[in-house]
Structure 1
């Protein structure tokens, strides 16, 4: 995948809008207007801070179903995606948790979103939702049927999960790229907010070929410069929120600070690439 074609930069930083609980979720509050207002505020804050792309996900719907979500969730996320597409100009993507990739693809195709995140594209993962099986065949078949120009960003050994079918990171990367045909791979730490090990990043870089690698968790303004010496970009959520707390809204000042650090890291990377060219 050509990241520059999709995000207008070779090293994109993607912010995340964590939607408040949606209809039928355990913590649904009964006020969809509040959900929409919060999503608009966070997307605007991310775009104003210079973010390169935004992922919308039903983060606060936990506990999640492991695969197909309720139709009300799909309807709500479609309405929100359509609204945000008219509000910000940066590329939008969607992640339907925990692993409803087919619904994510449908929403993206109907709203003009440019990419989706898939937590388990290939293999089998043991999670708090039970065993989640990847189904790259069905997803890519569905994308073709929809004639959707939607990129698939796939996690490798996704956080909050243990692999059942894959012996190690190297094998998981090969399966995700060569057999699952992911457009980009995402590497995370064990849990939300935890950074992946540098050795794992280097292993991913050595085995992913030309497929871009994105950081999926743990990126902060302090470490993003170093991470971008190996990874091609990052997905960031927690560290952009007020006081760095997941429950808080996006802080535009933290977004700007993060993007400044990222740009410095990108400049260092480009200088090194020129030196060894």
Structure 2
């Protein structure tokens, strides 16, 4: 699978790097400014890499409430932050501008990201209203901006949302793979930090055995073996943070303990 080529291992653990709120976000701290965003991210990169994760996915996680058409200042701020952090990365880096696939690809092309995560197809209703993703237009945009080789990890159903039509997980996975050719499928819990259903991941993998399936949320030290037994990799964010608190920074000790358990499960040498 492509994951071995990029991450150097089977069943990779991709850590989330949640950037602090950015200019234009309601939670942005103007007094601390972008310098704070950069310094906090730098600390977390060190904790995650020293702790042994296989990749890092950078997102504007604290840009609450999320928008479908993200202001250009968000993408520009992320590009500046990542540009100042790139020299510190020793493992593969990916990006996501939440709920805006177009700017996600713009950012990926500009900073040299190896992969992206996001919602690229489907029609949903949830906390942020109704969202419709024109996958044909989105994927043509990907090519147009020079991101053709960027790997795409597709959310089957985005967090805090539901398909506008009644479709089973198997139907969604089957049609998504047939029409969109995703590099991986993501199965999430209802919100960040909520456990993904291992039964759903098993069902999805049975329908699309040649497409990697990732646990997208809620992977913890206590359940990592059960989660990895049901999927091909995991995105991990909240559990790496101090006290397991979504708003706090990732800490080396938590990352190291988690990854030691992962290595034992994978049989790493």
Shift of 1:224: 0.8
| 1:6 corresponding residue in structure 2 | 6
Preserved contact between residue 116 and residue 152 of structure 2 (Cα < 8 Å) = yes
- For residue 76 of structure 1, report the CA deviation from its aligned partner: 0.6
Kindly indicate whether the alpha-carbon contact (under 8 Å) linking 1:47 and 1:90 is maintained by their aligned counterparts in 2: yes
The correspondence of residues 49-198 of structure 1 with structure 2, limited to 5 A, is: 49-65=51-67, 67-97=68-98, 99-118=99-118, 120-148=119-147, 149-198=149-198
Q: Which residue of 2 aligns with 1:201?
A: 201
By how many angstroms is 1:32 displaced?
0.9
Residues of 2 paired with 1:267 and 1:124: CA distance? 40
Gaps of 5+ in 1: 269-277
The separation in 1 between residues aligned to 2:34 and 2:182, in whole angstroms, is: 33
8 Å CA contact 1:122, 1:175 repeated in 2: no
Q: State the Cα distance separating 1:166 from its structure 2 match.
A: 5.0
Give the aligned partner of residue 36 of structure 2: 34
Give the superposed CA RMSD. 1.4
Residues 226 and 265 in structure 1, CA contact (< 8 A), matched pair in contact too: no
Q: Please give the per-residue CA displacement for 1:226-259, whole angstroms capped at 9, x wherever unaligned.
A: 2111211000011100010111110101001111
Match of 2:48 in 1: 46
User: Residues 185 and 213 of structure 2 are in contact (CA less than 8 Å); yes or no, is this contact kept in structure 1?
Assistant: yes
In 1: Cα distance, 2:97 partner to 2:165 partner: 23
Name the CA distance, whole Å, in 1 between partners of 2:166 and 2:136. Answer: 18
Number of aligned residues: 265
Cα drift, residue 147 of structure 1: 3.4
* Contact in 2 for aligned 1:213/1:232 (Cα 8 Å): yes
**Structure 1 residue 64, shift from structure 2 partner:** 1.2
Task: Give the structure-2-normalised TM-score.
Answer: 0.94
Deviation sequence 1:168-215 (CA, Å, 0-9, x none): 101111122221221101111122211122211110110122111111
1:228 and 1:159 mapped to 2: Cα distance? Answer: 20
User: Is the CA contact (8 Å cut-off) linking 1:166 and 1:172 kept in structure 2?
Assistant: no
2:245 matched residue in structure 1: 245
Where does residue 21 of structure 1 map in the other structure? Answer: 21
Instruction: Could you tell me which runs of 5 or more consecutive residues in structure 2 were left unpaired when the two chains were aligned.
Output: none
8 Å CA contact 1:101, 1:139 repeated in 2: yes
Secondary structure (helix, strand or coil) at the match of 1:29 reads coil
Instruction: Look up the match of 2:211.
Output: 211
Q: Is the 8 A contact 1:15 1:54 kept in 2?
A: yes
Cα distance in 1 for partners of 2:108, 2:228 equals 28
